[in-house]
A and B are shown apart, each in its own frame.
Chain A
Amino acid sequence: MQWTADKVQEEIVTLLQPFNPKGIEITPETDLSADLYMDSVAAMNLVMEIEDRFEIDIPISLLPDVNNLQDLVEAVLAQLSKG
């Protein structure tokens, strides 16, 4: 299927729900660490869920540049474009 940025974001927001027990509103600027209190292992586990959903690999060496939802969407789109 052809993934658009909006559709990718919608899917990631769904995958983020288990990491958002307080149910805060998720926006492109939502910071994984500061707003969702995700530690490095939780962030890597989220990425694994995202990888399964989109059938891609996101090298963990890219994660230091991923801070918020928008960064995640861009990382997914970049990997999808390689496929």
Chain B
Amino acid sequence: MSLFDKYDQVAARHDRLLAAGRDPFNMCMDRIVSATEAIVDGRETILVGTNNYLGLTFDPDCVEATVEAVREQGTGTTGSRIANGTYASHRALEQAIAAFLGRSAAMVFPTGYQANLGVIAGLAGPKDTILLDSDSHASIYDGCRLSGATLIRFRHNSPADLDKRLERLKDDKASKLIIVEGIYSMLGDQAPLDEFVDVKRRHGVELLVDEAHSLGVFGDNGRGIAEAYDVEDDVDYVVGTFSKSLGAVGGFGASSNPEFEQLRFTSRPYMFTASSSPSSIATAMATLKKIQSEPQLRRQLWDNAEALYNGLKDLGFAICAETSPIIAVKLPSEEAAVFMWNALIEAGVYVNLALPPGTPDGSCLLRCSLSAAHTPAQVQKVCEVFDAARRALKEWEAAQSAAE
């Protein structure tokens, strides 16, 4: 009996995946060339699976600000904020995020995952109830579990199902927190946030929105889905990440609740982890300024999203949601998705392979994420490679049938 016996089924599935080609979940980028290109296995590869929405990772101003921060503040903080102290740059970034979002306070975390852990497990405790969207990201589920709260899932993007469940809980005295995401990471579908706000108002409960994939992408000023729906005042807590449109590593929580900053001395994922490095903080500060000063980046991103969406749709691919910077192509089986993913990478296009149980409704997906930095020629090339990969898939399937 080994500790690893419990992984036998998962490991066998992973072996089958490797037998079909490369490891889609452990791709080594030999060299990163730009926000949209890398060298993989010696081949120039277009990156369409990095969530680098605004393409700021090589922006000269942001690189310069980051290099300067390392020179001035060093490479790392070597510990937690409660032990080693807060750097002035941590505080300045928190103030900048709060000002950007129109909130009274923000707290930064070393990753977006930890931001969800820290904010959710800080806000909710064993005597509280969390109602979470069933398609929530793993970091939300893990934060919920860490909180010890009673966890009730409602049907994905269904304000009516949430309403029904809150109605059943109306005599329950527990404090309640609703959690939704602005845009869902696998399919790219949006939350109907205005309808969720109606439900939350009617039941008098609080609402947390994870804007991980929507910050910098939605809203006239890039503040996310809540801005796009004009419901920011009804969103009590915002969680976000630096590792997507902000081109760095880290995350944040923000709120105008005057008690929000009590999480600094009550939230274990905030207290007992090393604080963000000066380089991450400096990058996020610089890219946050770019989000505000260069709105044309959002327009470029959406132009690219529409071009890829229309290109793949015209080719007859099944796309899971309306146009967004996340475009998930649905394949009929795991074998087909794995074959296509390998064909794409061999032709110099990197997308994300997403398989159950990490996907909604057992879907097998080739998930693309666009960047403002993609050129029209790159988007065109991606469409051509998808088309060629599908032809190869059909030939492979025909050969498989003939062999049987």
Contact = CB atoms under 8 A, between A and B. Distances in A.
Interface of A: 39-42, 44-45, 47-48, 55-57, 59-61
Given A57-B169, A61-B145, A39 B150 contact: no
A39 B134 CA distance: 15
B347 interface: no
Given A41-B357, A48-B155, 5 more contacts: A39-B356, A42-B362, A44-B153, A57-B165, A61-B145
Given A59-B151, A61-B150, A61-B151, A48 B165 contact: no
11 contacts: A39-B356, A39-B357, A41-B357, A42-B362, A44-B134, A44-B153, A47-B153, A48-B153, A57-B152, A60-B153, A61-B150
A21 to B, nearest CB: 12
A82 B155 CA distance: 22
B168 interface: yes
B152 A59 contact: yes
A59 B151 CA distance: 5
Given A55-B168, A57-B168, A57-B169, A41 B151 contact: no
A13 B165 CA distance: 24
- Secondary structure call for the A interface: helix
Interface residues on B, range: 10 to 19
Contacts of B150: 59, 61
Interface in B112-156: 134, 145, 149-153, 155
A56 B151 CA distance: 13
A48 B134 contact: yes
Nearest to A47: B153
Contacts of A39: 356-357
Contacts of A45: 134
Nearest to A59: B150
Contacts of A44: 134, 153
A45 to B, nearest CB: 8
A60 B357 contact: no
A56 B169 CA distance: 10
A9 to B, nearest CB: 23
Nearest to A45: B134
Contact of B152 (A40, A41, A55, A60): A60
Contacts of B362: 42
Contacts of A57: 152, 165, 168-169
Contacts of B153: 44, 47-48, 60
Interface in B337-380: 356-357, 362
A80 to B, nearest CB: 12
Nearest to B168: A57
A44 B149 CA distance: 17
A50 B27 CA distance: 40
3 shortest interchain CB distances as A-B pairs: A41-B357, A39-B357, A59-B150
B145 A41 contact: no
A45 B153 CA distance: 10
Query: Which interface residue of A44, A45, A60 has the most chain B CB atoms within 10 A?
Result: A60
Contacts of A61: 145, 149-151
Interface string B151-164: 11101000000000
